[in-house]
Structure 1
Amino acid sequence: MAEIDHIVIGCATLEQGARYVEELLGVKPVKGGQHTGLGTHNMLLGLGSGCYLEIIAADPDQPEPAQPRLFDLDEAGMKTMLEAEPRLVAYVASTPALDAVVARLGPSHSGEIRAMTRGNFAWRMAFPPQRTDMDNLIPPLIQWDSDKVHKHVKDSGWRLAALEAEHPETQALHTALAARGLGDVVKIRQSPHSRLIAHLRHKDGREATLTSA
């Protein structure tokens, strides 16, 4: 069974993303670090013991990576949108059996497993190939190989209350999520356009919404 590991906000620069999150949620994200070789760096905001919010941007201190940056950050349309304003771009689901899930789905659906590190943290991820990820509504799968980063991010008081996905092909999306153990985790709605929506709720009752469009 998979579960939501973190949600991802893309931005043109980390400074821009940090301001956006602080203005929206009233909490400063903390420094994450570099994804060496991937051309990105991040900041984090704790959403409780099992989930966090990641703010990610191209890292100007790294050379251009050999492969496109994660979460479509190099695509022209995405870059234009993020220059205007940070936005929710994706979510990531964790599984304790990454190899088994990828073997069952096949690399054409799940993507190849890639080993990644940031500082003392290590993990492996499988990204659905672009064009089959239904506009980032099918999440990458992650399995932590070492201590989870969640334990080291200060709790912000915010929680991920619900995650929704809108897409023209609801049955195909439901089938893909169910195959990853996420059939009951994400609420799916029919819409002519793709959109990811994250509803956050603070322990004091405040609510906020993040969207990809």
Structure 2
Amino acid sequence: MAEIDHIVIGARTLAEGAAYIEAHLGVKPGPGGTHEGVGTHNLLLGLGRNSYLEVIAPDPAQPEPPHPRPFDLDSPSVRTMLDAEPRLLAWVARTPVLDAVVTRLGAHHAGEIRAMKRGKLSWRMAMPPQNQDMSNLIPALIQWDDGKGAAPRLADSGVRLVALEAEHPEVDAVRLALAGRGLDEAIRLRRSPHARLVARFTRADGTEAVLASA
């Protein structure tokens, strides 16, 4: 069993990411922290007790990391896209049985498990290799060491994630990959000529907002 943990907005800088979220969702994300050794830092926005939004950007205070930054932040095409404006990049699903899922799928599909931490939070995470992530429609999997994670610790912004949608020309392959991770019901799928991730929200004032990867 797995479920949506958070969605990921990529940005060149955290300042640009914060301005983008405030413009689209009507509220600024709050402080997150530094991912030491990963080369990134973040801001966070609580979406209720069960999910949140992460704005992630390269951290200029850190040296170049030994591994590529997560969510394709080092990809030339993603960098070019983020030069224009921040963008929805990916989503992350939490599971209490990360080892079992990765063992069953194999690291070549699910990615290798890496231990990470930020402040008092610690977790283990497996990101699917780039050739297996179906344009970031297949989520990274996370298991929080405390069993709760970041969402319950965040102030409630009043913004809610209403639906997460994926569009892809090989929608049956996306569906199969999600089912293998216990995510059959987590995301709406549609066939489309182009891959795209779409997140639908209600703002605190009840109006609707949409963020998309393309």
Report TM bin, short chain. over 0.9
* TM norm structure 2: 0.98
| Bigger mean CA deviation after superposition, 102-111 or 46-55 | 102-111
Task: Write the deviation string for residues 154-206 of structure 1: whole angstroms up to 9, x where unpaired.
Answer: 11101110000001101110000011111111111111111000001135321
Give unmatched runs, 5+ long, in structure 1: none
Q: Distance in 2 between matches of 1:5 and 1:149?
A: 9
- State the alpha-carbon separation in 2 of the partners of residues 29 and 204 from structure 1: 17
Match of 1:7 in 2: 7
Residue 100 of structure 1: aligned partner:
100
Distance in 2 of aligned mates of 1:185 and 1:148: 18
Which residue matches 1:91? 91
Structure 1 ranges of 4+ moved more than 4 A:
none
- d(CA) in 1 for partners of 2:14, 2:93: 23
Give the letter aligned to residue 164 of structure 1.
Answer: E
Cα-Cα RMSD: 0.9
SS in 2 for 1:65: coil
CA offsets 1:11-67 (integer angstroms, 9 cap, x no match): 000000001111111111101000000000000000000000000000000000001
Structure-2 separation of matches of 1:38 and 1:153: 23
The answer for the alignment partner of 1:190 in structure 2 is 191
1:148: which partner in 2?
A: 149
Per the normalisation by structure 1, the TM-score is 0.98
Q: Residue by residue, what CA displacement relative to the aligned partner does 1:63-104 show, whole Å, maximum 9, x if unpaired? A: 000010000000111001101100100000000110111111
Q: Which segments of 5 or more consecutive residues in structure 2 lack a partner in the other structure? A: none
Q: Secondary structure at the residue paired with 1:61?
A: coil
State the percentage of identical aligned residues.
62
Give the Cα separation in 2 of the matches to 1:71 and 1:148.
19
Instruction: Write the distance in 2 (CA, Å) between the matches of 1:25 and 1:173.
Output: 28
Contact 2:48 2:152 survives alignment (8 Å) = no
Partner SS state of residue 61, structure 2: coil
Shift of 1:135: 0.6
Within a 5 Å distance, the mapping from 1:16-31 to structure 2 comes to: 16-31=16-31
Aligned AA for 2:176?
T
CA distance in 1, matches of 2:67, 2:151: 27
